[in-house]
Amino acid sequence: MTTVVNLSAMLADLEELVCCESFSADHEAVARSAAVVAGQGRRLLGMPPETIVIDGVTHLRWSFGEPRVLLLGHHDTVWPIGSLRTRPWSVSDGIARGPGVFDMKAGLVQLFHALATLPSPDGVCVLVTGDEEVGSPSSRALVEESARGCAAAFVLEASAEGGALKTARKGISAYEVVVHGRAAHAGLDPGKGANAGVELAHQILAVAAMATPAASPDGTSDGPDGTLDETTVTPTLLSGGTTMNTVPALARLAVDVRVPTVAAQLRVDTLMRALSPRTPGTRVEVLGGPNRPPLEPASSAGLFALAQRVAAGLGLAPPAGAAVGGASDGNLTAGAGCPTLDGLGAVGGGAHADDEHVVVAEMPGRAALLAGLVEAARG
């Protein structure tokens, strides 16, 4: 295997990707970005991709023989068109900046250059989606289909802090609680109404009580907020009523759920489905449900150990592992039963923020690690 050393070529490709803006909500921009990504892949992999347009969103897939390894990324970003004017592409003091540079266009560059160093890409499937940042509504089935039957999925999302690989991710559920009541004049006949707003208050308290605090090191359940073993059930958007002097006949609540395990996701779903009204004359409706399964540590353990061995063989520092609360398409590959290791993309920081950046010097080593993982995992 040839070591990836052409950093100047990687930077040229990264500049091309960053300067082609690809805001998820702008399907025309995503299509233009897909054409640029396809061109780089064609040049470095030796063949054009399959272009797949679903619900107006452009995805790309390369398949080389019978796939054993899936390399997964996305080319859409959270940055609206025009962001380059205020956050232009730049490289200064070894730091590359620009919209989407860290999440996750540098990961795509590393992916293509890693595969280009291998004697053959045989046994590899490369999937680059165009709607990951908005929850993968059109690409979810494509991701799951591509993962089934593979021995490993390597996700080129940006690394965790300090370049750590992402060995676990929380799963996500999304619900809407709709309370149906009965309208009445708030001054003349309030007793004839059934107040959906009052009932929603009861439901907010019931929903919030479903959360499970994180366990502290001594085994108690009073650990800090935000740790991976914590189940969070968060009431977010609230709405209800029509006018100041009307008993509200309708009220709504959005609920964001983050879970560490499939069992925790099922527990919350059972509790949500069991919600019942306390205010006479009201009715509670629960919409939504699990959106992404968790990437549990067991799914990544073998591949993380492999990454440490590959890094040692390349003379690289052993990568650390990190559990994170956010989700990615790696949740979907793990949910499809494919062993998954995430966070193999760029080293840097500031995803979705003004200080988004990539540490340029880390790019060749990350590409070499990925190439070594592909060689080892495809057998």
Tens digits of residue pLDDT in 138-171: 999 999 999 998 999 999 999 999 999 999 999 9
Query: What does the pLDDT read at residue 222?
Result: 35
- Using the predicted structure, report yes or no on whether residue 49 has a pLDDT greater than 90: yes
Checking if the pLDDT of 1 tops 60, the result is no
Active-site choice (13, 15, 21, 76) = 76
Q: What is the pLDDT of residue 5?
A: 61
Q: Round the average pLDDT of the chain to a whole number and report it.
A: 94
pTM (2 d.p.): 0.89
Instruction: Determine which one of 13, 15, 103, 132 is catalytic.
Output: 132
> Is 76 an active-site residue?
yes
pLDDT in tens, 240-287: 999 999 999 999 999 999 999 999 999 999 999 999 999 999 999 999
Q: How far is CA 275 from CA 222, 241, 284, 287, in A?
A: 26, 21, 7, 12
Q: Is the pLDDT of residue 120 over 90?
A: yes
Catalytic residue at 145? no
pLDDT of residue 218: 43
Q: What is the pLDDT of residue 220?
A: 38
Closest CA to 337 of 295, 290, 377: 295
pLDDT for res 379:
79
Domains present along the chain, CATH in parentheses: 7-169+294-377 (3.40.630.10), 171-292 (3.30.70.360)
pLDDT band at 221 (very low <50, low <70, confident <90, very high): very low
217 vs 186, more confident = 186
Whether 216 shows a pLDDT value over 70: the answer reads no
Q: What are the φ and ψ backbone dihedral angles of 155, each rounded to 5 degrees? A: -100, 125
The residues pairing with 77 across neighbouring beta strands, listed in sequence order, are 23
* Structure confidence at residue 60 (pLDDT): 98
> Facing residues of 238 across strands?
253
How many beta carbons lie within 10 A of that of residue 376, not counting itself? Answer: 16
Q: What is the predicted pLDDT for the residue at 45?
A: 97
Q: How many percent of the chain have pLDDT more than 90? A: 93
Buried b (16+ CB within 10 A) or exposed e, 79-92: beeebbeebebebe
Burial 280-317 (b: 16+ CB within 10 A, else e): eebebebeeebbbbbbbeebbeebbebbbebbeeeebe
Quick one: average pLDDT of 314-330?
A: 95
Q: How confident is the model at residue 325 (pLDDT cuts 50, 70, 90)?
A: confident
Average pLDDT over residues 61-84: 97
pLDDT at 228 over 70: no
> What mean pLDDT is predicted for residues 174-199?
97
Query: Is residue 223 predicted with pLDDT exceeding 50?
Result: no
- Output b/e per residue, 209-247; b: 16+ Cβ within 10 A: ebebbbeeeeeeeebeeeebbbbbbebeeeebbeeeeeb
For the stretch 18-34, pLDDT in tens is 999 999 999 999 999 99
Across the range 109-135, mean pLDDT stands at 97
Structure tokens at 84: 């380059």
